[in-house]
Amino acid sequence: MPYRVLIVEDQEMPRQLFEIFVRSDPRYTLIASIANAALAIDFCRHGRIDLILMDVMTELGSSGLDAAEAVKREFPAVKIIIVTSMPESSWLERARRIGVDSFWYKEAQKEPILAVMERTMAGERVYPDETPAVRIGHASSHDFSERELDILRELISGDSNAEIGERLGIAASTVKYHVQNMLEKTGMHTRTELAAAARSLGIAIK
Amino acid sequence: MTPFARLSILTQNLVCFWALVLCLSGTAGGMLLWRQKRRLLCALSGFCFLCAYFILQVCRDGTEQRLHGCGDALAERVLRMPCAAFFAALALLSAICCLLFRDVLRWRRAHITSDSIKESMDGLPAGVCYYLEDGRCILVNHRMNDICVSLLGQPLQNGVAFRDAVRDRPVCLLPDGTAVSFRHRAVTYEGAPAHELIANDITELYNKSRQLRADNERELRLKADMKAYGATIADTVQKQEILQAKVNIHDGMNRMILATQRAAEDGAAGAQRGEVLRMWQSQALLLCKEADARRSSSVVSDLNALAAVIGLRLEWDGAPETDDPAALSLFLHAAREAMANAAKHAKAERLAIHIEENGGSLRAAFENERQAAAAPAEERGGLAELRRRVEGAGGEMKIDAGSLFRLSVSIPKGGTANAVSGIDRGGSGDAAPAF
């Protein structure tokens, strides 16, 4: 009996590609492909879903990781593969923590999604060793420390060092120090430039 | 011993000159000591002056007697005194004068006088002015006078008038670009109320504060830009990804064309031709879907897909057209709740959705038939949560449970950020009312 698959992907083209992949393999049946992760739990309740291909950032700001957590809590047997193109490191950690079965980077991973689906349905947990390295200025995304990435995620808010420090529980001078370090690493001139680059490359997404 | 009168004219004149110098020294010393308020030494200096003057006078009388044969009897008697006595007296007076002058200098070095205060004030970079209640100046240094000339065009003569002129100006800019700020303080001068006005040169501070103000304004603008960027970044990234996907498709097309060309040139076998044909079909399908699938929102198609899984038929009367994610999210929540209730509690097969939208709000009504045996509707669980979110967003929610169950929501557009969907609660239907 084929596995019943739900695709949660808000971008038209990747979604259609996933649909083609799923339909091309007789071991899978596509139940639906939707754009909003908030509906995934409803499909599990009514549609006996076996596998979900879940994007992280979906329509109307709905988080795929939040949806995956809710599904895993209520339906632990449902397999979930997180599919994303963003190298945001915290997503990988959170996916592991909430019990997501596999994690697949859309563009960076050589292994095809069908192979990952097969291994996942066989009970294997397929995770990349690390996030894909992305160049940001003169630096690589792997050159940043955890604390620097925390601050990078907050920079996009446009708040001051004091406000960011208050949210992270550190001093404003520490925030300033880390921002300066990141500017030196990347060779960028302003924190705005740094935050914009980090967000658009998907290195730091809040 | 030679009497003084027997000395030569030249020697007597030299003695006269010596006495004259002592007179002047005694006068100057006395004046200095008087200013230093040292009365006793001043008297001693006066005594030296008198003695020297007496000797000078005696010498003058002696000269007149010699020239004209007439003279004072007292002077004649004194002139008969030995010349050594004259010299001794003059030497003693000279020694006293020297000691007095040395003492005057020492005292000046050890004490602050009004002159030394004025001199030191003139050397200050700050302007200083002390004046009485009626405006009369007690002390004005050069710098303050220059500032007054720069600001008012005249020297500082009335402290009150000058202070009134600068009272409401926290910072005064001088023509040479210098910035000064004034500080006033009430003081006491010899028991009378007086005022101290100090002008500080704050040019560097003023320039730095101006620079800081400009930097702060620039930072505020950057922050606003950053916030705006943060609000639109998701869309921007999505567009970038779509663009990248299109690039990938075009690359795939190019590869296919090459593969087709190779297959045609090599006279490919049936299986290989079939593979190329499948590639063409999938790419063509992808391009066709891309061409007609640009929807403003996937809410309707997602709900239709969910309804199909549930076994419910949705009958749409209108569709949400707003782009407001919070309003759409709340609408989605309401739809999920209505669908869950229709399927689980009312066992309905169809759900009618009426949508009206105007500039300020999105109004939706969900209507389904009820089973005759259904229990009365109770608003708890999912519906209560929906009401909390709708009303929290400034909207309204209404339930009519007659022969038809009707859930109506009015959702304001904009400002409904707290309505972004709650995944693990919305649309559960578990704690929904029985109807």
pLDDT per residue as tens digits for the range A98-122? 999 999 987 666 778 899 999 999 9
pLDDT value at B16 more than 50: yes
Strands B179-189 and B192-201, by their bridges, are: antiparallel
pLDDT value at A45 more than 70: yes
Whole-prediction pTM: 0.59
In the block, tokens 């190779």 appear at: B262
- B328 contacts in chain A (CB < 8 Å): 60
pLDDT value at B119 more than 80: yes
pLDDT in tens, B379-411: 677 888 889 999 988 889 988 877 788 899 999
Helix (H, G, I), strand (E, B) or coil at B86: helix
Question: Could you tell me which residues are beta bridge partners of residue B356?
Answer: B363
DSSP state of B376: P
With beta carbons less than 8 A apart as the criterion, state whether B129 and B159 touch: yes
pLDDT value at B265 more than 80: no
pLDDT value at A57 more than 90: no
pLDDT value at B112 more than 60: yes
Q: Chain B window 231-250: which residues touch A at a Cβ cutoff of 8 Å?
A: 233-234, 236-238, 240-242, 244-246, 249
Among A13, A59, A196, select the one facing B242 at the smallest CB separation. Answer: A13
Distance in angstroms (rounded) separating the CA atoms of residues B393 and B413? 9
Helix (H, G, I), strand (E, B) or coil at B323: coil
One-character DSSP codes across B107-127: HHHHS--HHHHHHHHHT-SSE
Distance in angstroms (rounded) separating the CA atoms of residues B254 and B260? 10
Cβ of B292 under 8 Å from any chain A Cβ? no
User: Side-chain half-sphere of B207: how many Cα atoms within 13 Å?
Assistant: 6
Q: A13 vs B249: CB contact, 8 Å cut-off?
A: yes
Integer CA distances (angstroms), B51 to B7, B94, B96, B258, in order: 20, 11, 12, 131
With beta carbons less than 8 A apart as the criterion, state whether A52 and A45 touch: no
Specify whether domain B118-201 bears CATH 3.40.718.10.
no
Q: Chain B window 251-290: which residues touch A at a Cβ cutoff of 8 Å?
A: 282, 285-286, 289-290
Distance in angstroms (rounded) separating the CA atoms of residues A42 and A8? 12
pLDDT value at B282 more than 70: no
The CATH fold assigned to B299-419 is Heat Shock Protein 90 (3.30.565)
Prediction ipTM score:
0.84
pLDDT value at B109 more than 60: yes
Strand arrangement, sheet containing B137-140:
B137-140, B127-132, B192-201, B179-189, B172-173
- A31 contacts in chain B (CB < 8 Å): 309
With beta carbons less than 8 A apart as the criterion, state whether B407 and B429 touch: no
Tokens representing residue B102 in the block: 């040395």
Q: A32 vs B241: CB contact, 8 Å cut-off?
A: no
Give, rounded to a whole angstrom, the gap between the first and last alpha carbons of chain A: 40
Cβ of A175 under 8 Å from any chain B Cβ? no
pLDDT in tens, B21-67: 999 999 999 999 998 888 999 999 999 999 999 988 888 877 777 77
Structure confidence at residue B115 (pLDDT): 79
For the segment B220-243, the average pLDDT, to the nearest whole number, is 75
Question: Could you tell me which residues are beta bridge partners of residue A170?
Answer: none
- Name the residue in chain A with its Cα closest to that of B289: A16
Chain B closest-CA separation from residue A41 CA (Å): 7
* Amino acid in position B104: V
Lowest mean pLDDT among A46-55, B194-203, B288-297, B360-369: B288-297
The whole-chain average pLDDT of chain B stands at: 82
Distance in angstroms (rounded) separating the CA atoms of residues A175 and A191? 11
- Name the residue in chain B with its Cα closest to that of A43: B306
* Amino acid in position A116: V
In the block, tokens 């008198």 appear at: B50
Distance in angstroms (rounded) separating the CA atoms of residues A118 and A3? 10
Integer CA distances (angstroms), B224 to A149, B229, B269, in order: 22, 8, 63
With beta carbons less than 8 A apart as the criterion, state whether B413 and B362 touch: yes
∠ CA B328-B321-B421, nearest 5°, is 5
Residue partners of B151: CB distance under 8 A and separation at least 6: B165, B166, B172, B174
Q: B238 vs A34: CB contact, 8 Å cut-off?
A: no
Confidence of residue B70 (pLDDT cuts 50, 70, 90): low
Distance in angstroms (rounded) separating the CA atoms of residues A70 and A43? 12
Structure confidence at residue B421 (pLDDT): 40
Q: Chain A window 17-46: which residues touch B at a Cβ cutoff of 8 Å?
A: 17, 20, 31-43, 45-46
Phi and psi (nearest 5°) for A198?
-65, -40
Tokens representing residue A114 in the block: 């069908």
Tokens representing residue B353 in the block: 């959705």
Structure confidence at residue A180 (pLDDT): 94
Tokens representing residue B209 in the block: 């504060």
The whole-chain average pLDDT of chain A stands at: 90
- Of A70, A34, A6, A46, which Cα lies nearest the Cα of B344? A46
Q: B299 vs A42: CB contact, 8 Å cut-off?
A: no
Lowest mean pLDDT among A97-101, B240-244, B302-306, B383-387: B240-244
Distance in angstroms (rounded) separating the CA atoms of residues B213 and B201? 20
Confidence of residue B268 (pLDDT cuts 50, 70, 90): low
Q: Which percentage of chain A shows pLDDT scores above 90?
A: 61
pLDDT value at B291 more than 60: no
Cβ of A122 under 8 Å from any chain B Cβ? no
Tell me, rounded to whole angstroms, the distance of Cα B84 from its chain centroid: 83
Distance in angstroms (rounded) separating the CA atoms of residues A122 and B313? 36
* Amino acid in position B189: Y
Structure confidence at residue A158 (pLDDT): 79
Structure confidence at residue A175 (pLDDT): 94
Structure confidence at residue B408 (pLDDT): 92
Chain B closest-CA separation from residue A169 CA (Å): 21
For the segment B121-142, the average pLDDT, to the nearest whole number, is 92
Q: Tally Cβ neighbours within 10 Å of residue B392.
A: 12
Residue partners of A46: CB distance under 8 A and separation at least 6: B306, B309, B310, B311, B343
- A70 contacts in chain B (CB < 8 Å): 423-424
pLDDT value at B286 more than 70: no
Q: How many beta-carbon contacts under 8 Å exist across A and B?
A: 149
Tell me, rounded to whole angstroms, the distance of Cα A105 from its chain centroid: 8
Among B226, B227, B305, select the one facing A32 at the smallest CB separation. Answer: B305
Distance in angstroms (rounded) separating the CA atoms of residues A71 and A99? 10
- Name the residue in chain A with its Cα closest to that of B326: A60
Among A12, A73, A196, select the one facing B290 at the smallest CB separation. Answer: A12
Distance in angstroms (rounded) separating the CA atoms of residues B309 and B312? 8
Lowest mean pLDDT among B26-35, B78-87, B257-266, B355-364: B257-266
pLDDT value at B171 more than 80: yes
Q: Chain A window 134-163: which residues touch B at a Cβ cutoff of 8 Å?
A: 155-160
- Of B420, B238, B418, B294, which Cα lies nearest the Cα of A55? B238
pLDDT value at A46 more than 70: yes
With beta carbons less than 8 A apart as the criterion, state whether B210 and A138 touch: no
Q: A62 vs B420: CB contact, 8 Å cut-off?
A: yes
Lowest mean pLDDT among A70-84, B117-131, B258-272: B258-272
Helix (H, G, I), strand (E, B) or coil at B34: helix
Q: B294 vs A20: CB contact, 8 Å cut-off?
A: no
Domains defined for chain A, CATH in brackets: 3-121 (3.40.50.2300), 135-201 (1.10.10.10)
Q: Tally Cβ neighbours within 10 Å of residue B390.
A: 23
Strands A102-105 and A51-55, by their bridges, are: unpaired
Chain A closest-CA separation from residue B292 CA (Å): 11
- Of A52, A30, A57, which Cα lies nearest the Cα of A41? A52
Q: B236 vs A32: CB contact, 8 Å cut-off?
A: no
Among B225, B240, B293, select the one facing A12 at the smallest CB separation. Answer: B293
- Name the residue in chain B with its Cα closest to that of A65: B423
pLDDT value at B294 more than 50: no
Among A60, A63, A158, select the one facing B325 at the smallest CB separation. Answer: A60
* Amino acid in position B62: G
One-character DSSP codes across A137-194: TTEEGGGS-HHHHHHHHHHTTT--HHHHHHHHTS-HHHHHHHHHHHHHHHT-S-HHHH
Structure confidence at residue B27 (pLDDT): 94
Distance in angstroms (rounded) separating the CA atoms of residues A24 and A6? 15
Confidence of residue B371 (pLDDT cuts 50, 70, 90): low
Cβ of B214 under 8 Å from any chain A Cβ? no
- B308 contacts in chain A (CB < 8 Å): 32
Tokens representing residue B8 in the block: 């030569």
Cβ of B299 under 8 Å from any chain A Cβ? yes
The residue ranges of every structural domain in chain B are: 4-110, 118-201, 228-291, 299-419
- Name the residue in chain A with its Cα closest to that of B294: A12
Q: A199 vs B332: CB contact, 8 Å cut-off?
A: no
Cβ of A192 under 8 Å from any chain B Cβ? yes
Structure confidence at residue B422 (pLDDT): 40
Distance in angstroms (rounded) separating the CA atoms of residues B200 and B180? 5
Q: A202 vs B329: CB contact, 8 Å cut-off?
A: no
pLDDT value at A149 more than 50: yes
- Of A34, A37, A29, which Cα lies nearest the Cα of B426? A37
B224, exposed or middle or buried, with CB in 10 Å at 0-12, 13-18, 19+? exposed
Q: Chain B window 323-352: which residues touch A at a Cβ cutoff of 8 Å?
A: 325, 328-329, 332-333, 336, 339-340, 343
Structure confidence at residue B145 (pLDDT): 94
A98, exposed or middle or buried, with CB in 10 Å at 0-12, 13-18, 19+? middle
With beta carbons less than 8 A apart as the criterion, state whether B233 and A206 touch: no
pLDDT value at B256 more than 90: no
